A = this chain, B = another copy of it.
């Protein structure tokens, strides 16, 4: 199978999407925005030996690659619209399996495959860009938390890495116009809460962390790849079902976190930490 055949096969298995005037097969995809919509853009890489190993199935890697970007769309309260997938591998069979996993999640979440780029490389790596949509001015951002707000997380933390990611798209939509700030937990609760607090110029006190069965506190606080949502609500606001209040936003040095009364270091996954 050569590159043209690969692209043609992907074109056939992808599906038309409202507002996507032109998908795979030209120099660019064409998207026609709707009146009153704002667009969200995020991109995430998956690299063999860094984010996964070949022991995992290509389909699960494809699904995970898309899920990571969809989690960012969820954290901003968006509806996914389409994705672009850039990929390099030396194994064309792997490509088909990868796309099978990716497209299964894409279909389920309404994300069209609009295009991408293919190259040959010994080691597998990919980059998945997702565009989402949100009503104008309604995107959930990191910078709106205020002293007195309550802090919540969805689900339970400390997931083992190989667990399937379920991007919290429905919760994100529910939080539009309600949450004062939100972020997805990709690098660990301590580091991601620190980031939210830095952006909002506030501090935080947390006193409980909902944990997966078998997870250590260390992993629940500092392990990455949970892909749950962390968000803040005004004090007294009714939270959506199935989320846990873990603490509150307070005045203080921007980004400073206390856990059970003690300072919590914003450690977490950092690709460039020496």
Contacts and interface: CB of A to CB of B under 8 A. Distances in A.
Interface stretch (A68-76, A211-219, A233-241, A243-251): A68-76
A44 B3 CA distance: 14
B120 A50 contact: yes
A206 B274 CA distance: 57
Contacts of A132: 28
A27 to B, nearest CB: 4
A113 to B, nearest CB: 12
A53 B127 CA distance: 21
B183 A27 contact: yes
Contact of A30 (B114, B139, B182, B195): B139
A109 interface: no
Interface in A219-274: 270-274
Oligomeric state, in copies: 2
A99 to B, nearest CB: 14
Interface string A99-133: 00000000000000011111111010101010110
A43 to B, nearest CB: 5
Contacts of A37: 33
A21 interface: yes
Given A27-B75, A27-B184, A117-B44, A1 B272 contact: yes
A129 B40 CA distance: 14
Nearest to A25: B199
B45 A41 contact: no
Contacts of A120: 50, 271-272
Nearest to A35: B35
B92 A272 contact: yes
A92 B272 CA distance: 8
A11 B33 CA distance: 27
Contacts of A1: 272
Nearest to A131: B41
Nearest to A132: B28
B3 A27 contact: no
B86 A44 contact: yes
14 contacts: A1-B272, A25-B142, A27-B72, A27-B75, A27-B183, A28-B76, A28-B78, A30-B139, A31-B39, A42-B115, A44-B86, A45-B86, A45-B127, A127-B127
Closest 6 CB pairs of A and B: A33-B33, A28-B40, A127-B127, A27-B72, A86-B127, A27-B75
